[in-house]
Amino acid sequence: MEQLIKIMSEIRPDLDFEKETKLIDDDILDSFDIISIVSEVNEQFGIEINVNDLLPENFNSAAALYDLITKMLNE
């Protein structure tokens, strides 16, 4: 989780990812952020988040994204 927060904060230093829970619904992240986060996460965690995983419920919070990553790592 710490690593993920670090990745996300590096891309958007202005946000507190421990607290935000509506990153997509409230239009906080833009498409550039999503692309940057996905490519960093894929690289650092060695997974392949693909287009089917790009859903609001997976990206609304760092915790949700972390669940997705954990799920993919266990598969």
Partner 1 sequence: MINNCLQYLEYNALNYGEKLALADESFSLTYKEYMEKAKVIGSFIAKKTNSTTNSPIAVLIDRNIASIVTFMGIVYSGNFYVPVDALMPKERIELIYKTLNPILVIDARQKDVSEEGTVKYEDILDSSEIEEGLLKSIRDNAIDTDPLYTIFTSGSTGVPKGVCVCHRSMIDLVNSFEEAFDFKHETVFGNQAPFDFDVSAKDIYNALKVGGTVQVLPKKLFKMPKMLVGYLIERKVSTLIWAVSALRIVSDFKTMEDGDVPKLENIMFSGEVMPVKALNYWMDKVPNARYVNLYGPTEITCNCTYFEIKKRFNDDEMLPIGKAFKNTRVILKDEKGAVIKEKGKVGEICVMGTCLALGYWNNKEKTDAAFINNPNISAYEQKMYATGDMGYYNDDNDIVFASRRDFQIKHMGHRIELGEIEVALNAIPNLDVSCCLYDKENEKIVCFYQAKEECKKEIVMELSKKLPKFMWPNVYVHYEELPMNKNGKIDRVKLSETFKKSEEK
21 binds partner 1 (CB under 8 A): no
Q: Which one among 18, 21, 43, 56 touches partner 1, defined by CB under 8 A?
A: 56
Contact 17, 62 (CB under 8 A): yes
Nearest distance from residue 1's CB to partner 1, in Å? 20
The helix, strand and coil proportions of the chain, stated in percent and rounded to the nearest 5, come to 60, 0, 40
Instruction: State in angstroms the smallest separation of the CB of 51 from partner 1.
Output: 4
Residue with Cβ nearer partner 1 (2 or 51): 51
Q: Which residues bind partner 1 (CB under 8 A)?
A: 12-14, 24-25, 27, 29-32, 34-36, 50-52, 54-56, 59
